[in-house]
Chain A
């Protein structure tokens, strides 16, 4: 039992008494799948995150914007276990404390990430990159004797189709263009079948058509999965966003629809001032 979840839903929550913790299951009965509360991270005294609180609902597609250095990437670092915060708590569902887990454990639990700088494995082929990402047992011995089943092979084929890399299946990822690498990494995200996808600046280096397809793809994923998309391109954000969170100097400045946010004087000031 964690006190955080209890406190949070103290007043209006009668289900609490029957709340049975099921190990490995994400408890989303209260709506949110991701809770960050009062999270602070500082680098040499500089506060990259400052008492950041954020809740992402199950199945929601959330866009995050904010000027350079607002802490968007750092927020993802905290969620995925790359950076341990100085204070605050981060929960996956009601019951899973992410701060007690390391990166592979968090990834296996179902929180996966696309990095701001496309990070694919250049020495491996497109197919092999996707195969590495495939959701399966990731122990060393199991990996040694791993053989793709027909179903898994089809799944990789499907994902390659989705991200438009079928023709390049056996090319080394190193030769891909920036936009193609972005897509390959999105494909790797899909292969992991995560519950939460953290997508950091997905469209940098993409052509106009590629951007449109990316928007379609991300939109088609919501509902089944939760997505957090960080992007600077306002037009793109407008095309996919229901709810937008504006981050500034390490905490949430405001949240709302794209229109609300864009007309918020504080937001205007932050962007004009920055």
Chain B
């Protein structure tokens, strides 16, 4: 309740919430209530596409917390998303049961193929949905904790930190590529059948997943709004602007950075876990450093340090990507690079900054 009052105090924020709620409720409701040939019925393609955007929006927002509010330009944030995705993927793999090509009740196909005789220890428990969901936040959280603890305590900042975050996701990329790691190597985890016993391909399940993605985004948005409005949020902003000064006020800067970094990693993990059942696959390519760079572009494009800017940026960039990769598949990377240059030079505050400027000039 307090979260809601906090959010509605600010007009922009209330608008964002309304739009999010509308998307979250209307699309799945339409699909549940109308027959497939009705004009109000969204295609499976649209539902999973927009659902994917919602998880990206959540991912972008979590990076905004780290970069926009705390000033840590993390270039490996995609790693946490991928880890959350893998945790979900492992659950979905275990759900396949005997329906795999080899029909092994315990081992996923790729393990049978590798001639493995038993399930590796780290796959235990993933047949339990609750445990898997716990891992969705704990695995990225633990990695962020260990990494952040080492990096922030030794006061690695700026470009150096950015580089080692890239190295982190790159190292994970290489590791997950290896078959011996036991995560399906190159092919990753796919061919999912059920989630909680329901057919993952069915329209209703897709609608529910969509709804959950929207709901997760709304809850995360409210939570992030709350955090940024607490004293911790203000300390974090202060760290962004004058890190060393904050120390002289008696705050352990590294602890605050760690707190934000771990929390954001957990949010990214949730986003990954919602993403995987909607796209039907998770493979090591999610760890590519380029993916993490794209997240930065979303946030920069939308406008840093506003939370909703990241949501807008994620949707706009990914929508353009969907359209443009359809039209000119090879050009996307160049366009992405170009976009980034244009934003940094011309729109330092992103789309949100542009909108604000327009509103202000209209009022004047």
A: which residues have CB within 8 A of B? 80, 82, 102-104, 107-108, 112-113, 115, 119, 121-124, 128, 131-133, 138-141, 143-146, 188, 192
Q: Which residues of B contact A123 (CB under 8 A)?
A: 237-238, 241
The answer to whether A132 touches B249 (Cβ under 8 A) is yes
The 8 A CB mask of B236-260 against A (1 = contact, 0 = none) is: 0110011011111111110110110
The answer to whether A104 touches B250 (Cβ under 8 A) is yes
The answer to whether B230 touches A143 (Cβ under 8 A) is yes
Interface residue tally for chain B (C-beta within 8 Å): 24
Complex alpha-carbon distance, A143 and B255, angstroms: 11
The answer to whether A138 touches B234 (Cβ under 8 A) is no
Closest partner residue, chain A, to B257 (CB atom): A140
The answer to whether B241 touches A112 (Cβ under 8 A) is no
Partner among B234, B242, B247, B252 whose Cβ is within 8 Å of the Cβ of A128: B234
The answer to whether A103 touches B242 (Cβ under 8 A) is no
Complex alpha-carbon distance, A237 and B52, angstroms: 66
Complex alpha-carbon distance, A121 and B248, angstroms: 13
Contact A131:B244 (CB < 8 A) given known A104-B250, A138-B251: no
Residue B119 lies at the interface, judged by CB distance under 8 Å to chain A: no
Contact A121:B238 (CB < 8 A) given known A82-B244, A139-B255, A146-B231: yes
Q: Identify 28 residue pairs between A and B in the complex whose beta-carbon atoms are under 8 Å apart, listed by A's number.
A: A82-B248, A102-B247, A103-B248, A104-B248, A104-B250, A104-B252, A104-B253, A112-B249, A115-B245, A119-B242, A119-B245, A121-B237, A121-B241, A122-B241, A124-B237, A128-B234, A131-B234, A138-B249, A139-B252, A139-B255, A143-B232, A143-B251, A144-B231, A144-B232, A145-B230, A146-B231, A146-B232, A192-B250
Closest partner residue, chain B, to A143 (CB atom): B232
Complex alpha-carbon distance, A12 and B250, angstroms: 37
Q: Which residues of B contact A107 (CB under 8 A)?
A: 247-250
Shortest distance between the CB of A204 and any CB in chain B (Å): 18
The answer to whether A146 touches B230 (Cβ under 8 A) is yes
Partner among A112, A113, A119, A138 whose Cβ is within 8 Å of the Cβ of B252: A138
Q: Which residues of B contact A141 (CB under 8 A)?
A: 259
Complex alpha-carbon distance, A26 and B232, angstroms: 29
Query: Closest 3 CB pairs between A and B?
Result: A107-B250, A103-B247, A144-B232
Complex alpha-carbon distance, A107 and B232, angstroms: 18
Shortest distance between the CB of B244 and any CB in chain A (Å): 7
The answer to whether B247 touches A132 (Cβ under 8 A) is no
Complex alpha-carbon distance, A9 and B241, angstroms: 45
Partner among B227, B237, B253, B258 whose Cβ is within 8 Å of the Cβ of A144: B227
Residue B59 lies at the interface, judged by CB distance under 8 Å to chain A: no
Complex alpha-carbon distance, A103 and B243, angstroms: 12
B: which residues have CB within 8 A of A? 227, 230-232, 234-235, 237-238, 241-242, 244-253, 255-256, 258-259
Contact A188:B249 (CB < 8 A) given known A131-B231, A143-B232: yes
The answer to whether B259 touches A140 (Cβ under 8 A) is yes
Q: Which residues of B contact A113 (CB under 8 A)?
A: 248
The B interface is mostly helix, strand or loop, or mixed, namely helix
Complex alpha-carbon distance, A145 and B232, angstroms: 8
Complex alpha-carbon distance, A184 and B189, angstroms: 57
The answer to whether B247 touches A104 (Cβ under 8 A) is yes
Q: Which residues of B contact A102 (CB under 8 A)?
A: 247
Q: Which residues of B contact A144 (CB under 8 A)?
A: 227, 230-232, 259
Q: Which residues of A contact B242 (CB under 8 A)?
A: 119, 121
Q: Which residues of A contact B250 (CB under 8 A)?
A: 104, 107-108, 138, 192
Complex alpha-carbon distance, A132 and B242, angstroms: 13
Q: Which residues of A contact B238 (CB under 8 A)?
A: 121, 123-124, 132
Complex alpha-carbon distance, A159 and B249, angstroms: 16
Closest partner residue, chain A, to B259 (CB atom): A140
Closest partner residue, chain A, to B247 (CB atom): A103
Q: Which residues of A contact B232 (CB under 8 A)?
A: 140, 143-144, 146
Complex alpha-carbon distance, A128 and B233, angstroms: 11
Shortest distance between the CB of B255 and any CB in chain A (Å): 5
Shortest distance between the CB of B279 and any CB in chain A (Å): 34
Q: Which residues of A contact B247 (CB under 8 A)?
A: 102-104, 107
Contact A143:B249 (CB < 8 A) given known A82-B244, A121-B241, A121-B242: no
Q: Which residues of B contact A188 (CB under 8 A)?
A: 249
Complex alpha-carbon distance, A122 and B238, angstroms: 9
Q: Which residues of A contact B256 (CB under 8 A)?
A: 140, 143
Complex alpha-carbon distance, A128 and B231, angstroms: 9
Q: Which residues of A contact B253 (CB under 8 A)?
A: 104
Complex alpha-carbon distance, A145 and B235, angstroms: 13
Closest partner residue, chain B, to A148 (CB atom): B231
Shortest distance between the CB of B348 and any CB in chain A (Å): 15
Q: Which residues of B contact A124 (CB under 8 A)?
A: 234, 237-238
Complex alpha-carbon distance, A122 and B159, angstroms: 24
12 new A-B contacts at CB < 8 Å, known A113-B248, A131-B234: A82-B244, A104-B252, A107-B250, A112-B249, A121-B238, A124-B234, A124-B238, A132-B231, A140-B258, A141-B259, A143-B230, A144-B227
Contact A143:B252 (CB < 8 A) given known A104-B247, A119-B245: no
Q: Which of B231, B246, B251, B255 has the most CB of A within 10 A?
A: B231
Partner among A128, A133, A140, A146 whose Cβ is within 8 Å of the Cβ of B249: A133
Shortest distance between the CB of A58 and any CB in chain B (Å): 21
Complex alpha-carbon distance, A124 and B244, angstroms: 16
Q: Which residues of B contact A131 (CB under 8 A)?
A: 231, 234
Q: Which residues of A contact B251 (CB under 8 A)?
A: 104, 138, 143
